[in-house]
Homo-oligomer: A and B are copies of this chain.
Amino acid sequence: MTRETLVTAHRQGIAVLDGLIAHGRGEAFDYLLGEETSAPALVAERAAAAYLVTAKRPVISVNGNVAALAAKEVARLAVAIPARIEVNLFHRTNARVKRVVRALERAGAKDVLGLRPDARIPGLASNRARCHRSGIYAADVVLIPLEDGDRAEALGRMGKSVISVDLNPLSRTTLAATVPIVDEVTRALPNVARFARTMQKKPREAERIVRTYDGAGNLAAVYAFLRLRLANLVQTSRNQRSRAH
């Protein structure tokens, strides 16, 4: 079903072909992770909510795949925090930005930035650097679902707290993020929104989580989980193969 959605989004000019290949990579990792939110991912999602709720200028960055797969989830999360939404495309054309903005608006998003960029992210080439002064450029906390490593690293160098959503637990994006969420985007964003709604009522708890959150420790737990899953998968596969042959 997700594949169908993405293929349709490609036909509509929202997702690009590279985005389809990237989605396939995510699928492989999600298969290894068991296609559900792991305990360490849930901890990261709670930390993400704490960072977003206590931020002065939180922004959610959206690309073609995110708009195709999780427009509604982005719109709802933006309300829950509340945060700005900015469209930021790797293969940027104005026509494509417009289509992505429209897809987000149809899903309920308001005041989506991206069409009139007036600033640049330092250290990135060409169109990929363009952003809004009132959006990503001035943000203190940026949520970047399905983002590439270059942008994740560049935003980190600007001193921002970066929250990634990426199924590859070893990607440069995951390694660069302050709060790396290793989970599928349509599972991750509603979890973050749920935690955000609870934390709105408990600002002290949110502040404590931000102060004490250990990204490296959380990733270590993700890796331990992945090793365990792999061992289980191998055992299951052996049994299946010996039954088949």
Q: In the bound complex, do residue A215 and residue B245 qualify as a contact, i.e. CB atoms below 8 Å apart?
A: yes
- With the chains together, A156 CA to B245 CA distance in Å? 9
Q: Which residues of B contact A24 (CB under 8 A)?
A: 20-28
- One of A66-74, A105-113, A133-141, A220-228 at the interface: A220-228
Copy tally for this chain in the complex stands at 2
Q: In the bound complex, do residue B227 and residue A241 qualify as a contact, i.e. CB atoms below 8 Å apart?
A: no
Asked if A185 is an interface residue, CB under 8 A from chain B, the answer is: no
Asked if A146 is an interface residue, CB under 8 A from chain B, the answer is: no
Asked if A213 is an interface residue, CB under 8 A from chain B, the answer is: no
- With the chains together, A170 CA to B156 CA distance in Å? 36
Asked if A7 is an interface residue, CB under 8 A from chain B, the answer is: yes
Within 8 Å by CB of A25, from B25, B156, B230, lies B25
- 187-245 of chain A: CB within 8 A of chain B: 215-216, 219-220, 223, 226-227, 230-231, 233-234, 237-238, 240-242, 244-245
> A residues near B, CB below 8 A?
3, 6-7, 10, 17-18, 20-29, 31, 153, 156, 168-170, 175-176, 178, 215-216, 219-220, 223, 226-227, 230-231, 233-234, 237-238, 240-242, 244-245
